[in-house]
């Protein structure tokens, strides 16, 4: 059995309004893990950025983009890839960059299916320590 502090409650993963009544898929969370939502944008965009003039290197583009303090993420092709909201996209366009929106990335919680259940976590630990005795050491 998982045991934790008095703050521990059980909630369905992935929702701000996590259910307190459904037994399936419940996981161990702290009461305070059920955070309130933020006030940011509803959607961001994964975008790649190019300079308007041909022949400008990715390095030079990156230096100019850095002035905008944006959320730069590694780009598999060595270019400049960003996670931006609409206002940031506009700022890039205003500065003359060519912005290619690759996909929308909605602001939402982690897919609940990606969050481990308590039983699964405990089973993993039990399996790993199988064959040892509590308190055993070399």
Pairing mode of beta strands 80-84, 43-50: antiparallel
Residue 49 as a binder of other proteins (CB under 8 A): the answer is: no
**Residue 24, interface with other proteins (CB under 8 A)?**
no
Distance in Å, CB of 137 to other proteins, minimum: 3
d(CA 63, CA 17): 42
Residue recorded with tokens 């303090």: 69
> Which of 6, 23, 55, 76 is close enough to bind other proteins by CB under 8 A?
76
Instruction: Give whole-number Cα distances, 21 to 32, 66, 115, 120, in Å.
Output: 18, 47, 18, 20
Contacts of 132 (CB under 8 A, 6+ apart): none
Piece of 49-57, 93-101, 105-113 that binds other proteins (CB under 8 A): 105-113
Window of 49-57, 93-101, 128-136 that interacts with other proteins by CB under 8 A? 128-136
Task: Round to the nearest angstrom and report the end-to-end CA distance of the chain.
Answer: 26
Residue ranges in contact with other proteins by CB under 8 A: 2-4, 8, 13-16, 18, 27-30, 32-40, 44, 46, 62-63, 66, 69-74, 76, 81, 83, 102-103, 105, 107-111, 114-116, 118, 120-121, 125, 128-129, 131-132, 134-138
């Amino acid at each position: 059995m998982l045991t934790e502090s008095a703050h521990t409650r059980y909630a369905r993963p992935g929702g701000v309004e996590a259910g307190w009544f459904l037994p399936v898929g419940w996981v161990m969370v702290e009461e305070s893990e059920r955070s309130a939502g933020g006030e940011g944008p509803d959607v961001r965009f994964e975008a790649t950025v190019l300079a308007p003039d041909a022949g400008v290197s990715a390095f030079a583009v990156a230096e100019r983009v850095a002035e905008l303090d944006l959320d730069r993420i590694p780009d598999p092709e060595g270019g400049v890839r960003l996670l931006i909201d609409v206002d940031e996209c506009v700022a890039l366009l205003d500065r003359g960059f060519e912005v290619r929106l690759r996909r929308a990335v909605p602001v939402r919680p982690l897919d609940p299916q990606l969050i481990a259940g308590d039983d699964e976590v405990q089973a993993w630990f039990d399996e790993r320590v199988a064959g040892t005795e509590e308190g055993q050491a070399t």
